[in-house]
Structure 1
Amino acid sequence: MRLNENTKILGKKVILVPYEEKHVEKYHEWMKSPKLQELTASEPLTLEEEYEMQRSWRNDDDKCTFLILSKEVFEETGNEIESLIGDTNIFLSEDEELTGEAEIMIAEKGFQGKGLGWEAMVLMLKYGAEFLKIQKFCVKIGELNEKSLKMFSKLGFEETSRSTVFKEVTLDKSVDNSWIEFLDNNGGNWDVKSYR
């Protein structure tokens, strides 16, 4: 999405940056993992297809993505590729209201279960509500992905449907002022800056 191509978001433990060409090779290596493919409902892509996907994410108005950096590693190394631990996305659709389908992935095992996914998702939800003017969020999670189901439940999302065919659960959350305040109080302290 062009709106966020020059935006970085600084949190307490993470930094969100736009997905650029320089990140593609590491991202492609992650997505060779059958486990990550299963958790993200993704198909394996060739490296060239991954570059095409990155360009699509950059140019399409209905997709917003940020890559997640470990703030601690980045402050030690100054290297985005070494600091890269995952991504977070929003797919936009408009029916009666602007809806964003949110996703989160912490691909680097050593950074899982440390609260970085929580903070990155909170920051992305805030960005979606405040900058993209999303009125409702939804997530689609594999029914066996208990960690994600638990996290989004803690974020106030409620189950709205379950697909036995796709083996996934859909949860929704409408945006209102009290929920934004909840995000602010639960990891949503941020500094939005120019990426360049």
Structure 2
Amino acid sequence: MRINEDTLLEGHRVVLVPYTPEHVPRYHGWMQSEELQLLTASEPLTLEQEYDMCRSWRQDTDKCTFIVLDREQWNAGVQEEQCMMGDVNLFLTDPGDPSLAELEVMIAEPRFRGKGVGTEVACIMMSYGISKLGIKKFQVKIGLENQISINMFKKLNFREVSSCKVFKEVTMELQVDPSVQTWILDRTSQVQERDYRESCKRTEPGLNRGLNQE
């Protein structure tokens, strides 16, 4: 999506950056995993198809995508491809209702799972969706066997609205009323936004890229 193509969001443990061609090889490697294909209901793509998908995600008006980086490594000057933890997406699935978005969070690197990273990423993305895209309802579709993700979204006050045994998935939703909006924005008040292009200018390893620098 054009709106986030130059946006960087820095949280407590994660940094969200636009999906660029430099991220594609690592992402493509992840998606060869049968486990991730099952969890994300995805089919494996060729490397060239993955590059095409990257271009699509940056240009299409109904997709908003960020790559999730490990903030500790990123601040230490490690190359972004080596900092990658997963990705997060918002899909505007209803052309007649641009305030409805399907949310997807994938923490691909096993060592980062079970540590609250997915929860932080989901909250940052919902905050961005509310503030920048005018989202009023979030929806997630999760495999019935993915109990960890189901529990995570329950803790974020999503409620189950349907379950499909044919597709083996559960659909959960969160309506963004004023109290929910306040709760999400307060929870992500420490998140800082900057121009991604400025962070790309940095080339010296170890240089502090903190957003509070003057």
Bin the TM-score by the shorter chain: over 0.9
Q: 1:172 to 1:82 in 2, by over 3 A?
A: same
Q: By how many angstroms is 1:77 displaced?
A: 2.9
Q: Which residue of 2 aligns with 1:140?
A: 141
Q: What one-letter code is carried by the residue in structure 2 that aligns with 1:175?
A: V
Q: Distance in 2 between matches of 1:72 and 1:44?
A: 30
Q: Distance in 2 between matches of 1:128 and 1:94?
A: 16
Aligned-residue identity in percent: 48
Q: Which residue of 2 aligns with 1:83?
A: 83
Q: Distance in 2 between matches of 1:39 and 1:10?
A: 26
Q: By how many angstroms is 1:98 displaced?
A: 1.8
Q: Distance in 2 between matches of 1:110 and 1:73?
A: 14
Q: What one-letter code is carried by the residue in structure 2 that aligns with 1:103?
A: E
In the superposition, the TM-score normalised over structure 1's length comes to 0.96
Q: Which residue of 2 aligns with 1:49?
A: 49
User: After the TM superposition, which residues 87-166 of structure 1 pair with which residues of structure 2 at under 5 Å, given as runs?
Assistant: 87-92=87-92, 93-96=94-97, 98-166=99-167
**Structure 1: 5+ residue stretches without partners:** none
Q: By how many angstroms is 1:37 displaced?
A: 0.3
Higher mean Cα deviation, 172-181 or 10-19? 172-181
Q: Distance in 2 between matches of 1:54 and 1:182?
A: 32
**Secondary structure of residue in 2 paired with 1:61:** coil
Contact between 2:127 and 2:188, CA under 8 Å: does it hold in 1? no
Matching of residue 32 in structure 1 with residue 48 in structure 2: no
Q: What one-letter code is carried by the residue in structure 1 that aligns with 2:191?
A: W
Q: Distance in 2 between matches of 1:35 and 1:188?
A: 34
**Secondary structure of residue in 2 paired with 1:43:** coil
Contact between 1:142 and 1:169, CA under 8 Å: does it hold in 2? yes
Q: What one-letter code is carried by the residue in structure 1 that aligns with 2:126?
A: L
Q: By how many angstroms is 1:94 displaced?
A: 3.8
**Secondary structure of residue in 2 paired with 1:172:** strand
Higher mean Cα deviation, 172-181 or 90-99? 90-99
Contact between 1:99 and 1:135, CA under 8 Å: does it hold in 2? yes
Q: Distance in 2 between matches of 1:118 and 1:46?
A: 30
Q: Distance in 2 between matches of 1:191 and 1:83?
A: 19
Q: By how many angstroms is 1:116 displaced?
A: 1.2
Q: Which residue of 2 aligns with 1:68?
A: 68
Matching of residue 15 in structure 1 with residue 18 in structure 2: no
Q: Distance in 1 between matches of 2:143 and 2:26?
A: 25
**Secondary structure of residue in 1 paired with 2:190:** coil
Contact between 2:161 and 2:171, CA under 8 Å: does it hold in 1? yes
Q: By how many angstroms is 1:179 displaced?
A: 1.0
Matching of residue 171 in structure 1 with residue 186 in structure 2: no
Q: Deviations over 1:9-60 (max 9, x none)?
A: 0101100000001000000000000000000000000000000100110110
Q: What one-letter code is carried by the residue in structure 2 that aligns with 1:91?
A: F
Q: 1:118 to 1:188 in 2, by over 3 A?
A: farther
Q: Distance in 2 between matches of 1:114 and 1:172?
A: 23
Contact between 1:123 and 1:188, CA under 8 Å: does it hold in 2? no
More strand by percentage: 1
